[in-house]
Structure 1
Amino acid sequence: MTPRVREILNWYGADNPGVLTNLARMLNQGKLAGTGKLVILPVDQGFEHGPARSFAKNPDGYDPAYHVELAIESGCSAYAAPLGAIEAIARDYAGEIPLILKINNSDTLFGNKAPISALTSYVDDALRLGCVGIGFTIYPGSAERKHQYEEIAQAARAAKEAGLVVIIWSYARGEQLSKEGETAIDVIAYAAHIAAQLGAHIIKVKPPSAHIEQAAAAKVYQEQGIKVSTMADRIRHVVQACFNGKRIVIFSGGEAKGTEELLKEVSELAQGGAFGSIMGRNAFQRPKKEAIQLLTNVMEAFAGKKL
């Protein structure tokens, strides 16, 4: 147990030893073990976007075993996926890497400006499959947010009682937000803070842009001189919004992008104090050798090594 990991665990004083043990398992796993940083491989995109859109670029990805092997071989901190994908690999890879069960999911077969994910599995399933935690998506700004907040409140309480870590994907989206506003700095910081208030141990948000969506927020940002001009500035602000940096905040890789562009963004995330990345399509849509090299470079950036 490194001093940094022990420091992070001390932030979660309300949690039982089971939660702290599972959080420590992730923080002490893989190439970033002991650094206080995390890189998680999430593969819920097949459910969220469809199998062809997710796996046709690299057909090996149709097999759930490919993804967990990629996470293990690259030295990731954990692997996250919906119920079916975890059930397909849990026995064969038991104990090799921390598993996170994504307990709610949505699909793109029904378009809806006010998105909502369905509960697709439960805390009991996470325990049965040996997972360290549950993942859950909320959409702050959605007309359905009340229902989502109430669902995660119940699921988080059950998870914590069972000693499981709670990871919240917090994606602002809804009729009153512009497309640009979904990644605006004020909106991302707000969405991250909401996840912290809902009791998340780990918060996942998108990297923010310099756009400010809310007029009331823009006034405060200007009056208080909150720096948002660089990605590092914006990441620093989002982390600050999560209890002054006392909650783990990780950032999604987003849409598929070129290696150079992606690594530049990761370097800026690291400079801003991000706790890591949760990177799916940008990794598993590449051939395995290339994906492992990419994830290695990402981990080195968070470990403080120059790329």
Structure 2
Amino acid sequence: MKKVNIEELLGKEAESLLQHKCTTIPSSSLHLPSPTHVEDIFGISDRNVQTLRNIEALYSSRGRLANTGYVSILPVDQGIEHSAAASFAPNPIYFDSENIVKLAIEGGCNAVASTFGVLGSVARKYAHKIPFIVKINHNELLTYPTKYDQIMFGTIKEAWNMGAAAIGATIYFGSDNSDRQIVEVSQAFEYAHELGMATVLWCYLRNNDFTKDKINYETSADLTGQANHIGVTIKADIIKQKQPTNNGGFTAIGFGKTNPLVYSKLTTENPIDLTRYQLANCYMGRLGLINSGGESKGDSDLAEAVRTAVINKRAGGTGLISGRKAFQKSMKDGVALLNAIQDVYLDANITIA
């Protein structure tokens, strides 16, 4: 398959993203992705042998990025999170759960993340062919009026029984229900590790009051960084986070505690530096930071996905978890987009900033 022209896709941002030198948090202080990441980082942790084996499976058992220290994951939990109609109407083949797993395999992904129902429906055929990440909680959108809360959809033992290598969960940090979610997910992660499964946390912010002067700070570097720090505290092995679009959430909203050095020394306006601050809050990269691919916008999807991957890699991140940009297209085009993302991580010319 023909490789994409990364510089051309980045357009006017090519120089600022590909040539940027990070002077905030130096790369020498980070734990960067490498083929020996699991041994170097988790080998000295309290994760048990079975968990180490499954973390290694996520990084090394299959896909185009196997044994690089980077991961490419296909997440398809949107049938619940955004409704099946909103998610699959653009390409109805994905109402069939097997096609979700097929896309991950054909697309050269390290793993597939989806619901109990999707993965359970084809587990005997595929659980040994590609690592499963079972999403254990969701925000269901059938309640009226709409509410935003992550609730459990199954059990950790159920995920283990279907052969999952890992579980995934979401916490809406900052929401009215975040305290309960933190406790639930922390307990779930503890049991998952006991049974030998890895843990992936969707670290999202959700609070209407995080919008100030028409600027939404739910994706600010300082707030998402703190969410990441809580996430690794409850023992997420991988953090999934939206890439930052701004900074200064704490100061703009006027709550919590921060430090002026976060804004004067540890970050700049460059998205690579903002993402590096997110990574710093993952114990300086001991726990991998994967950024989400975001919604599908049509013709601009490829360029946006490559841009996100370049920023993540140059910041020191571990990879990308991209769903709607891939599955709301034909299988062929979805595979091409996933491969383009992976090409960024395989390109030796795209280095740590």
The interval holding the TM-score normalised by the smaller chain is over 0.9
**1:93 matched residue in structure 2:** 126
Residue 79 of structure 1 aligns to a residue whose secondary structure is: strand
Determine whether 1:83 maps to 2:126: no
Q: Structure 1's 190 and 114: CA in aligned 2 closer, same or farther, altered over 3 A?
A: farther
Higher Cα Rg: structure 1 or 2? Answer: 2
Shift in alpha-carbon separation, 1:220–1:3, aligned structure 2, 3 A: closer
Kept after mapping to 2: 8 A contact 1:249/1:274 = yes
The one of 194, 210, 213 aligned to 2:249? 213
Q: 2:151 aligns with which of 109, 118, 126?
A: 118
Q: Which residue of 1 aligns with 2:339?
A: 296
How far apart are 1:109 and its partner, in Å? 2.8
User: Is residue 134–residue 165 contact of structure 1 (8 Å, CA) maintained in 2?
Assistant: yes
1:14 matched to 2:46: yes
Give TM-score scaled by structure 2 length: 0.82
Whether the 8 Å CA contact 1:37–1:303 is kept in 2: the answer is no
- Residue 44 of structure 1 corresponds to 77
What is the root-mean-square deviation of aligned Cα atoms in Å? 1.9
| Contact kept in structure 2, 1:8 and 1:36, CA below 8 Å | no
Partner residue in 2 for 1:251: 291
| Paired positions, count | 305
Amino acid paired to 1:164: M
Greater relative contact order (Cα 8 A, min sep 6): structure 1 or 2? 2
CA offsets, 1:28-63, max 9 Å, x none? Answer: 021101111111111100011111110111111111
What is aligned with 1:109? Answer: 142
CA contact under 8 A between 1:212 and 1:218: conserved in structure 2?
Answer: no
Deviant stretches of 4+, over 4 Å: 111-114
Q: What does 1:1-307 correspond to in 2, within 5 Å?
A: 2-10=35-43, 13-28=45-60, 29-110=62-143, 115-178=148-211, 180-215=216-251, 217=258, 219-223=260-264, 225-257=265-297, 258=300, 259-305=302-348
SS of match in other structure, 2:121: helix
User: C-alpha distance in 2, partners of 1:222/1:298?
Assistant: 30
Aligned partners of 2:270, 2:332: CA distance in 1, in Å? 32
Indicate if the aligned counterparts of 2:248 and 2:263 stay in contact, CA closer than 8 A: no
Aligned residue in 1 for 2:14: none
TM-score (norm 1): 0.94
CA gap 1:150/1:5 in 2 versus in 1, 3 angstroms: closer
Indicate conservation of the 8 Å contact 1:104/1:137, yes or no: yes
Matched residue type, 1:226:
L
Greater Cα shift, 63-72 or 203-212: 203-212
Q: CA deviation at 1:6?
A: 2.5
